[in-house]
Chains A and B, each alone.
Chain A
């Protein structure tokens, strides 16, 4: 256990100790006039005033202590190595709290794997997110000697791509039965809404064909107006000329739009090439605009200009282009995800003593007030 000051400069405040000293210094300037006939036997050259003297020693000591404690508070005292090495148990969301309590014992310190590591008595966290990251954080913040047990369900969710490598050997316990994993439904194919003018009507069929290729029940509509589709549909805007403000607002609110090469629009700053042909020429560029995505063909949608329209993978490429990126895989079989030890332990931050000091200051302050305002003091 090593005491230390985080802000030693705060001790400069100790200079304020002089204030109570000055207050309590017996005022030497007072000279009580007194008649004294035997003056001639007084030493005409009195020695210098005797040593400094102070009134009300107890009160002075309390006030000095108060100021010293305040200065210490400013200097932020802390202590290194004063660690709580009691065992901890982390519980992954999805485990029944009662089962976790039963497994770990009635006195164990059980905490959810969730931001802030709430105690298990609180409501279970909603969804497992960043489980790996939270386990690493908890391990890093734990004193090196404290044992750690992690209770996980058979299938652990919210992990990242890296194996868990912690600074200590943890007890990895799988709690609960293996649930029958339901087959997740494949993501829905995007709906296409084409807006065009008669001049571009030839291009519409490529999109209709692509939508037809995606699904047996294609979600596709095409129109010559400027009516905007639902927010989850993909807008294919083939109208030439400036793009109306309504369309950019629709995109900014979260929509995905694919513009024809004749559309005039200010592309967002994050614009980059999204689709290149075999020769490396850019076919589609785009970027994020507000919440949504704005993409634009760089060439007219005619096979002479853009042979890829006729390529067999056009439909698949278009779907990849307009569907949002899939989340990274985050589910793992817990039995295969046992953390390994060996990571370098993290130096723990020193424990701040400010709360204890604040309590002491409050007590000393109360005592000082009690002493300073007692009636007997003013009676004299």
Chain B
């Protein structure tokens, strides 16, 4: 299976440059760095020296170097951010669904690209990011790191990632609690059809993690453009249903809208910011919803 590496379309990339991943606690506080850091100022990890400029704190001058070179240098460290960005990507079988009009653009493909956009954003602002692929048997966990290597790692990981099986049960999900630290920013990319997934993010939100949920929907789920006889098959349970598209349409749209409204209520009450991404929308639209200028986060 030859997977071409995921690429962000150029126009999306330019739009991403105007976005910043912000947590709720950023709002209004401003301050130093993108996220509030426990040890303000220089971090521990050395990055580079630079010439002293008026206004730099005298204690940040490297006096040993001054003794050797008779010049003031300021030792700069990498901005250590205590906040990691986690991408939870649902890889159950239902994520493999694509529209008939565009069979090579599945929900999982879209989720991978959204994840890449998030990684790009995180990388641009120096945040560490990691991801967890939620699959039936085992979680595929990549611990948060920053830098380009982590992005390459993500590309390799995602190239192998296939949608299969059901949503993992609570037992399988246990390691997740050890990894995602409090105050971490968690993106949840899923079709949100599995109760397990909703329960998971509800618990995460309750435990203080900031969760952003993107419900990935296909165009057919939104529009139900079926006309004629169809054999509908649910991927994870294998349940089938024979029906006439037109006869089912109205009822489905009403019930599906009600279900989405119920989900919205549920996520709102859990304090989870959420949006819907339909496969024919631009890939950065969920991020614009969360972080864009037009749609300030709640």
Enumerate chain A interface residues (CB-CB to B < 8 A). 26, 28-44, 46-47, 49-50
Contact = CB atoms under 8 A, between A and B. Distances in A.
The 10 closest A-B pairs by CB, nearest first: A37-B94, A39-B234, A46-B243, A31-B231, A36-B232, A41-B255, A33-B231, A41-B256, A31-B229, A43-B251
A39 B228 CA distance: 17
Contacts of B97: 35-37
A5 B230 CA distance: 48
A342 B232 CA distance: 85
A43 B244 CA distance: 11
B256 A32 contact: no
A40 B246 CA distance: 17
B241 interface: yes
Interface string B251-285: 11001100100000000000000000000000000
Contact of A40 (B230, B233, B234): B234
The B interface, classified by DSSP as helix, strand, loop or mixed, is mixed
Q: Which of A29, A34, A41 has the most CB of B within 10 A?
A: A41
A342 B262 CA distance: 98
B291 interface: no
A44 B243 CA distance: 9
Give the interface centre of B193, B242, B243 by most chain A CB atoms within 10 Å.
B243
A28 B229 contact: yes
B26 interface: no
Given A46-B247, A49-B247, A34 B235 contact: no
Given A35-B97, A37-B236, A41-B256, 19 more contacts: A28-B229, A30-B228, A31-B229, A32-B228, A33-B230, A34-B226, A36-B221, A37-B193, A37-B234, A39-B232, A41-B255, A41-B259, A43-B243, A43-B248, A43-B252, A46-B241, A46-B242, A46-B248, A47-B247
Interface string B79-104: 00000000000000010110010000
Given A31-B229, A31-B231, A39 B247 contact: no
A34 B232 contact: yes
A36 B220 CA distance: 9
Contact of B241 (A26, A35, A39, A49): A39
Nearest to A48: B247
A49 B94 contact: no
Contacts, number: 81
Contact of B256 (A28, A29, A38, A46): A38
A236 B229 CA distance: 100
B231 A34 contact: yes
A380 to B, nearest CB: 15
Contacts of A31: 229-231, 242
A37 B193 CA distance: 8
A29 B244 CA distance: 11
A44 B242 CA distance: 9
Given A42-B248, A43-B248, A37 B231 contact: no
Contacts of A37: 94, 97, 191, 193, 221, 234-236
B231 A42 contact: no
Given A44-B241, A49-B244, A36 B234 contact: yes
Contacts of B246: 50
A310 to B, nearest CB: 112
Contacts of A41: 252, 255-256, 259
A35 B106 CA distance: 11
Nearest to A35: B97
A38 B231 contact: no
Contacts of A46: 241-244, 247-248
A32 B227 CA distance: 10
Contact of A34 (B100, B239, B259): B100
A29 B248 CA distance: 17
Nearest to A38: B221
Contacts of A50: 244, 246-247
6 contacts: A26-B228, A32-B231, A33-B231, A37-B193, A39-B232, A40-B193
Contacts of B244: 46, 49-50
Contacts of A44: 241
A240 B241 CA distance: 110
Contacts of B232: 34, 36, 39, 42
A43 B243 CA distance: 9
B233 A36 contact: yes
A38 B247 contact: no
